[in-house]
Structure 1
Amino acid sequence: MSAATQSIRPPSKILMLLEGRRALTELGAFLNALPLLHLTPRGDGHPVLVIPGLMAGDDSTLPLRKFLEGRGYAVKGWGLGLNRGLRAGVQDRMLDCVRQLSHLHNRKISIVGWSLGGIYARELAKIAPDQVRSVISLGSPFGGSPRSTNAWQVYQLASGQSVDNVHDVAMSVAPAVPTTAIYSRTDGICAWQGCVEKTSAESESIEVEGSHCGLAVNPAAVYAIADRLAQPDGAWKPFDRSGWRSLIFPDPAR
């Protein structure tokens, strides 16, 4: 682990304590923005797997999944109950889900993962690139030490494993499929610096203003997810920040 990675500090306690209130505000904003969000491009019907974050289950991603279903995708939750970390058998069951979903629809799937779920999504795409079309992570700390989050102790209690034993610097390497990392500099759980993807021909980062616990209902994040999923297979292009989008989506390069 590099010294730079080790030096990333967790978000402030103030931001962490404000997470719940901010997430509720984002949920309200999402519900109010639905008429506008339904103007986003419709999808082509390809399957989308949505993976929740640490100590969350499919209930937490229900609003996002219902929205994506309304945009024309074949959406599935991960179906493994609460996400208690990468315990024995979890990776194999997720891989089975990826392969079964791809086989059922005879198409590659996209994977949207929130926080720890985004780390899973990236690793699944590395293992099964022939079944995965694209990956989108939401506030996922793949590029930093687990201790640069305010959730590492929760992970240890939930999984029964030390975060030092499960962390691998190779997690920061993007999968060989189109990859988008959505993050917020005001994330109260994960240090935003570890949630940013290196820009390449098929990878990018999109910054939004919001909390960690509200990312899956943050209107700007949901718009970006819908925009990325609507791209034709094999014709991926970076997110367009021109025009009115420049007022909502900062340029991560700045």
Structure 2
Amino acid sequence: MKPPPLSLLLTEWPRAAGTVARLARDWRGLADQPRGDGHRVMVLPGLFNSDRSNVVLRRHLDRLGYRALGWGLGRNLGARTIGADARRLIARIEAAAVDGPVTLIGVSLGGIMARLVAHRRPELVRGVITISSPFAASPRATHVWRAFEWVTGERVDDPVIAARLAEVMAPLPMPATAIWGRHDGLVASTACRTDACDALEVPSGHLGVQLHPAVLRGVGEILAQRLSSEAR
């Protein structure tokens, strides 16, 4: 699988600017969604980002009636941050799951990490939502694999990475939805979903995708649908 064409990559910054403008226009109207049940939702940031990148998403979840949490691990530097076996991230999720399993929402690399933990500690995870997360293909299906190697200290051709990716790709034992966009200029859109999970397409690029009104509304709808299914 190849990364997106250069023509899409060149649209990323204009699309990000448009996302911010749409957010300012639509923010108030996004509150008109079904109310949550108060369970904890942890949001995992993308490569090199911290909890600050997800403030808007967490605020939206809070006002819908969920208890939104950041991951509290600083910048996402891959295994350097979460531990080679994800032990630091798992410890954070264990602490958050004192009242019951937690929904994990992961942006880009954060989504890959969310799926990894969901496979390894399924009793801690109520459901998973990935946002523009290339979990279904080689890292070379992105324009950021070299940055990934530089930031994380890992090599995408390492057999350890291949084994981890195979684990992440496997179907999850809990509800999983992949949010993706065909206009993504950094990661191949087909790398962000599989037939083994639900999928929601949004009209967004990659940069700032977690701020896009369609993503915020989509996350609220996905969570509401899951609550409705659980109540049946």
Q: Report if TM-score (shorter chain) is over 0.5.
A: yes
The aligned counterpart of 2:6 is 13
Aligned to 1:99: 94
* 1:162 correspondence with 2:162: no
> Aligned partners of 1:114, 1:161: CA distance in 2, in Å?
20
Partner SS for 1:186:
coil
Specify the alignment match of 1:217 in structure 2. Answer: 211
Query: Over residues 141-199 of structure 1, what are the superposed CA-to-partner deviations in whole Å (9 max), with x where a residue is unaligned?
Result: 11111001000000000011101221332321122110000000110110011111214
CA separation in 2, counterparts of 1:117 and 1:232? 21
Q: Does 1:181 align with 2:202?
A: no
Return 5+ residue gaps in structure 1 as ranges: 1-7, 238-254
Q: What count of residue pairs does the alignment treat as equivalent? A: 225
Give the 4+ runs in structure 1 shifted more than 6 A: none
Q: For residues 200-250 of structure 1, give each alpha carbon's deviation from its aligned partner in whole angstroms, at most 9, with x where no partner exists.
A: xxx30111111011220111111110111224558269xxxxxxxxxxxxx
Kindly report which structure 2 residues correspond to 1:141-156, keeping only aligned pairs within 5 A, or say none: 141-156=134-149
Distance in 2, Cα, partners of 1:34 & 1:236:
28
Select which of 87, 109, 115 maps to 2:80.
Answer: 87
Structure having the larger proportion of residues in helix: 2
* Corresponding residue to 1:171 among 152, 156, 168: 168
Give structure 2 stretches of 5+ with no counterpart.
none
1:111 shift after superposition: 0.4
What residue number does 1:247 align with?
none
**Which residue of structure 1 aligns with residue 41 of structure 2?**
48
State the alpha-carbon separation in 2 of the partners of residues 124 and 233 from structure 1. Answer: 22
Amino acid aligned to 2:10: L
Shift of residue 89 of structure 1? 4.9
**Aligned Cα root-mean-square deviation (Å):** 1.7
Instruction: Report Cα offsets for 1:99-128 as digits up to 9, x if no partner.
Output: 11011xx12110000000000011111111
Structure 2 counterpart of 1:130, from 97, 120, 123: 123
Aligned CA distance change for structure 1 residues 179 and 236 (closer, same or farther; 3 Å): farther
Share of identical aligned residues, percent?
A: 35
1:24-76 Cα offsets, whole Å, 9 max, x none, are: 21122122112221111111100000000011111111111111111111111
- Partners in 1 of 2:210 and 2:11 — Cα distance? 17
* TM-score, normalised relative to structure 1: 0.84
